[in-house]
């Protein structure tokens, strides 16, 4: 039962998992460091070797997971089980993490940008048991508020289109280089409604400033609305949990009510 042993090794053995997690984090650090030109030039060889090493480990892991995938699911043929693994979100992440390394061997493109896909392996950390309960609360809250949040986002989107078109017509003449087109104007409206306000683009005419003030004030409501929606969902969650735990028993007569 080599397969079963390997399956347990890669799934239960914590030192193997620690190795993988360490390698993921080292990959993130290496990606960041390699973006510093002076460091990259100095240690180019090291980065290349580390790249080959990481991809090798991840490839071996992927192959082993693919091979032992039929122990992971209960029903289905061995082929359908492997297909299930390949198309599961973690299976796809694992594949995308190694694919960019092999593609250039076939296609003569510069796909170094795809190395960014390896970052998604960070998401694997959510598999850790300790984190999963809090994460579940958060995701269930987000799921429950999905329709309200999408409406808010949609209203925000319409607001952005409207306000940026308006500002384009108002400011274009005074700042033809800044409010050059509605695209630039949209960039301004995002920066304003999210209250980021980089300061690279802002109205200078009186009317523009007046309209922009109104839009910025609406921006606060735009922040308040999702916050209110999410807050109420968290409170609902909390009350549901409390209600499930509650069962009133009279300490005198023992009646449940």
Cβ closest to a second copy, residue 68 vs residue 185: 185
Q: How far is the CB of 141 from a second copy (least distance, A)?
A: 7
Q: How far is the CB of 102 from a second copy (least distance, A)?
A: 20
Cβ 96 to a second copy shortest distance, Å: 13
**Least CB distance to a second copy at residue 68 (A):** 27
Residue nearer to a second copy on the CB measure, 46 or 73: 46
- Closer CB to a second copy, residue 38 or residue 74? 38
Tokens of 43: 């240690």
Distance in angstroms (rounded) separating the CA atoms of residues 233 and 235? 5
How far apart are the C-alpha atoms of 150 and 65, rounded to whole Å?
37
Read off the tokens for 227: 């916050």
Q: Which two tokens stand for residue 213?
A: 């003030």
Q: Are 94 and 121 in contact (CB under 8 A)?
A: yes
Per DSSP (E only), the strands in 60-191 are none
Question: Residue 60 or 162: which CB sits closer to a second copy?
Answer: 162
Comparing CA positions, the residue from 67, 61, 240 lying closest to residue 144 is 240
CA 82 to chain centre: 26
């Amino acid at each position: 039962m080599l397969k079963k042993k390997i399956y347990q090794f890669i799934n239960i053995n914590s030192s193997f998992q620690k190795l993988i997690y360490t390698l993921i984090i080292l990959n993130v650090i290496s990606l960041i460091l390699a973006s510093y030109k002076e460091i990259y030039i100095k240690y180019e060889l090291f980065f290349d070797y580390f790249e080959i090493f990481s991809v090798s480990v991840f490839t071996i892991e992927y192959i082993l997971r693919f091979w032992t995938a039929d122990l992971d699911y209960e029903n289905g043929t061995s082929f359908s089980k492997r297909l299930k693994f390949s198309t599961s979100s973690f299976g796809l992440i694992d594949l995308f993490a190694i694919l960019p390394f092999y593609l250039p061997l076939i296609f003569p493109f510069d796909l170094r940008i795809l190395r960014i896909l390896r970052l998604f392996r960070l998401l694997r950390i959510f598999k850790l048991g300790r984190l999963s309960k809090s994460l579940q609360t958060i995701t269930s809250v987000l799921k429950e508020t999905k329709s309200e949040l999408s409406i808010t986002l949609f209203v925000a989107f319409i607001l952005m289109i409207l306000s940026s078109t308006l500002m384009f017509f108002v400011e274009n003449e005074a700042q033809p280089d800044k409010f050059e087109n509605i695209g630039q104007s949209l960039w301004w409206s995002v920066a304003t409604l999210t209250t980021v306000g980089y300061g690279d683009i802002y109205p200078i005419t009186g009317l523009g400033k007046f309209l922009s003030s109104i839009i910025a004030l609406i921006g606060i409501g735009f922040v308040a609305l999702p916050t209110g929606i999410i807050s109420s969902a968290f409170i609902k969650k909390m009350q549901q949990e409390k209600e499930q735990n509650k069962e009133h028993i009279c300490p005198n007569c023992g009646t449940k009510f």
